Chain A
Amino acid sequence: MSPCANGANGKPHGKSVVFPLDQSLVTDGGRNIAPLAIGYETFGELNADRSNAILLCHALTGDQYAADVHPVTGKPGWWDALVGPGKPFDTERYFIICSNVVGGCMGTTGPSSTNPSTGKPYGLDFPVVTIRDMVRAQAMLVDHLGIDTLFCVAGGSMGGMQVLQWAASYPERVFSAMPIATAAKHSAQNIGFNEVGRQAVMADPDWRAGRYLEQGVRPEKGLAVARMSAHITYLSETALQRKFGRKLQDRSAPTFSFDADFQVESYLRYQGVAFVERFDANSYLFVTRACDYFDLAADYGGSLAKAFKDTRTRFCVVSFTSDWLYPTSDSRAIVHALNAGGASVSFVEIESDKGHDAFLLHEPMFIATTRGFLESAAVARGLKARP
């Protein structure tokens, strides 16, 4: 199995851009990443005046394959429910860009990429990156594509943090923004869950202090455990109960062992195994760390409102009632800050029992909200109606 089927050997899937050495990414931690490669996908066509570009920002373990069939998993892209012809992010109307984040493992430079100063994979020598670093790299890609103003920047979870950072860092380049199921800062609970995941990876004997790629092994068990615990936080108690309850897996009575007797155990084990097929353990450490460090207000003297002062971006903030990872109160904090800055903001809390992952699923109210918001923004931007 290839290490996360990625650009570890410098061969990303699909489209990619490698920036020349003089266009390095200077990280918040004060390090240079050069050369910087960015793996990305585009869907739809850029119009003549380059005004219909939408940047989709992926969540923690997502990648550039927002739509169509994922080349590694063979499954539909992560935002298949919303991206495609006639869907809210209409590929017949908009030009959609989705890139793999810096620190990731799908063609964008990350810890599994070759460190030019050693000729070996970076491993833990890769700079600790932040959400702002991810956004800086995306801005380099958007420049490279010759796009000045993005019609919309949208994304959920970690992607939503990037949306907020985009709106704060480049207000004049973001016409509209949809931060979904996200927060302006990571809570102690979120950091706590991430730490459990990282410790699981690092406790795996095959992690080898992060140098596993050179030694031809992978900390698959640790990474799978990290995924299993994280996966629970993406769901809700109601959804888990409805889906599994205490149902047994392929048996009629408990085995009095530590086999996966319960369906929920079997499901989580499957999630863990499927995940290690497509993701790199060190990338998991870096992207979770980037989320933990995120605190947008801290960059503006502790005032989130200052981050969005005088913004002309149109915002639509969305949360889900059963999301306990990024609860509605996190979204309300964003809305209050936008209000205080006089921003044009819409906010909807969608009734759903599907937990944090609801934003990836076919939730009719969410889809209607997204469609309505984009339609009205398109009218304001002067974009032609769907052909």
Chain B
Amino acid sequence: MTLAQHPRLDHLLIADMVEPGARVLDVGCGDGALLQLLARTRNIDGRGVELSQRGVNECVAKGLSVIQGDADTDLADYPDDGFDYVILSQTLQATRHPREALRNMLRIGRRAIVSFPNFGYWRVRAQLVLRGRMPVTGNLSYSWHDTPNIHLCTIRDFVELVDNLGAHIERGFALDHAGAPIRVNAPWWVWNLLGEQAIFLLERDAPFK
């Protein structure tokens, strides 16, 4: 598959944030598609953590170094500064302690890349406000009773949390319904309203203590 054929635009945007040859930990790496993309296009030294046995098996079969584990409990075991980037792609909302997960990511890697569905997206707001129903969208495709997503947030909430953690946003994208990036110079409230999902590159402000 060539770069242009890679089906996930969010993966391509993440790959664009990673410097070539970097050491990368992908938390919640699924079937390893992003790690493979990064290995192919960025020549990274990649590792993964994945909760599901099926996902881990698919990754191991692809030759990826992946550990079966839980972002909530297992990140604590990784040493400080072990990686250049720690990635959490579409997994933050499924963690029990998102703040702790982010803190660990910024401890393990100097930089963190996080993508998540934006609960401030207008269609989400509309479903709740107009129909009185828990939102179901492309990025939030579960019914309220069987969803793994337990900590949904808006782009605005996330930006505030990053500030609290002593980190800052290096780069950010909001993706619209079609998965295309929203103009970077648009104001925050536009991102928060029109972005169905968001991707942020975070960097910690001071050396980790």
Residue ranges of A at the interface with B (Cβ–Cβ < 8 Å): 314, 316, 335-336, 339-340, 342, 344-351, 365, 368-369, 371-373, 375-377, 379-380
Contact = CB atoms under 8 A, between A and B. Distances in A.
A368 B66 contact: no
B61 A371 contact: yes
Contact of A375 (B61, B78, B79, B82): B61
A376 B60 CA distance: 8
Given A336-B77, A348-B56, A368-B61, 18 more contacts: A335-B67, A339-B67, A340-B78, A340-B82, A345-B47, A345-B65, A346-B67, A347-B66, A348-B53, A348-B60, A351-B53, A372-B57, A372-B63, A373-B60, A376-B63, A376-B64, A379-B63, A380-B63
B121 to A, nearest CB: 36
Interface string B54-79: 00110111111111110000000111
A342 B25 CA distance: 11
Contacts of B79: 339-340
Q: Is the interface of B mostly helix, strand, loop or mixed?
A: mixed
20 contacts: A336-B77, A340-B77, A344-B65, A345-B47, A345-B67, A346-B59, A346-B60, A346-B67, A347-B66, A347-B68, A348-B53, A348-B60, A365-B57, A372-B60, A372-B61, A373-B61, A375-B61, A375-B63, A376-B62, A376-B64
Contacts of A348: 53, 56-57, 60, 68
A172 to B, nearest CB: 19
Contacts of A379: 63
Contacts of A344: 47, 65
Interface residues of B, number: 19
The 7 tightest CB contacts between A and B, nearest first, are A376-B63, A372-B61, A347-B67, A336-B77, A344-B65, A372-B60, A346-B60
Nearest to B77: A336
Given A339-B77, A339-B78, A314 B57 contact: no
A296 to B, nearest CB: 17
B56 A342 contact: no
Contacts of A365: 53, 57
